Structure 1
Amino acid sequence: MARVRYLGPEQVTVPELGRSVEPDEVVEVPDERFEGYVCQPSNWEAVEEPKDEKAPAKKTAAKPQKED
């Protein structure tokens, strides 16, 4: 689960979480919904990004071989 901080000035009800969130409160959100929160930078701040366990390991590209 990812974590975000609510930056708004007053309490807000978040139906997705099934509860209210207070100003400056850090809450856990589903990884797949993380972007839906942080795309609202005036209301939410990223605290802990989702762990991308399903993504394949990053590999560096091989350098092309020179042919003479």
Structure 2
Amino acid sequence: MARVRFIGSEPVTVPELGSREIQPDEVVEVPDARFEGYVCQVGTWEAVEEPRPPEPNQTELAPPARKIAARPQKTED
């Protein structure tokens, strides 16, 4: 999760953070996907720790596994 600092002068309640009251100069964790929504408000929030870049999903990089047909089961007569 990313971290931002509230630089406003009065406490605010942030519904997205569970209706938590944030105090001036307080650092809070925000979801990585919402980081830009906070730091674009330059008079209210400042970046402290940016989101980490997504790690490559190794299963997507590997070729798809070949499926081998199961041998038919022997039936006893």
- Please give the range of the TM-score, normalised by the shorter of the 2 chains: 0.7 to 0.9
Whose Rg is larger?
A: 2
Report the TM-score, using the length of structure 2 for normalisation. Answer: 0.69
Partner of 1:23: 24
Percent identity over paired residues? 70
Aligned residue pairs total 56
**Are 1:9 and 2:9 matched, yes or no?**
yes
What is the root-mean-square deviation in Å for CA atoms of aligned residues? Answer: 1.4
**Structure 1 residue 54: Cα displacement:** 4.0
Output the CA distance in 1 between the equivalents of 2:41 and 2:8. Answer: 11
**TM-score when scaled to structure 1?**
0.78
3-state SS of the aligned residue for 1:16? Answer: helix
> What are structure 2's unaligned runs of at least 5 residues?
58-77
Query: Which structure has the highest helix share of the two?
Result: 2
Segments of 4+ in structure 1 off by > 2 A? none
Structure 2 CA distance, aligned partners of 1:3 and 1:33?
11
The alignment partner of 1:34 has SS state of helix
How much has 1:55 moved relative to structure 2? 5.9
2:21, 2:44 → 1: CA distance?
Answer: 14
Unaligned runs of 5+ in 1: 57-68
